Amino acid sequence: MAEDVLEINDSNFEAEVLKADGPVMVDFWAPWCGPCKAIGPIIEELSGSLGNKIKFTKCNVDDNPATPSKYAIRSIPTLIFFKDGAVADQVVGLVGKSKLEEIINKIS
């Protein structure tokens, strides 16, 4: 995992995401999820090129059940984009790099 993608959990979610200074993307994933493994390198690449616009984070749904439950995560990967502590956009499933860039540019 790239150092630019911060692993978050139920206990630091509020501080790292909801109270963040700028926009934040949360990748809700699990190690056994094939599409999660496929989108991981795309997110790492974007964190290298767009990390100055948005904070990239990931939350393991198996290890942290409270946060995914709060946001009604039913399928993974689910990417939720937060701005000023509120949900600004959301993507479910494996999507391409251009779609993620489009959302990041829209909210940042």
Active-site residue flag, 36: yes
* Catalytic position from the list 6, 17, 26, 33: 33
Signed CA dihedral, 60, 66, 71, 75: sign only: positive
* Catalytic position from the list 17, 36, 46, 54: 36
CB burial of residue 17 (10 Å; 0-12, 13-18, 19+): buried
Give the residue among 82, 4, 72, 65 at the shortest CA–CA distance from 30. 65
What are the catalytic residues? Answer: 33, 36
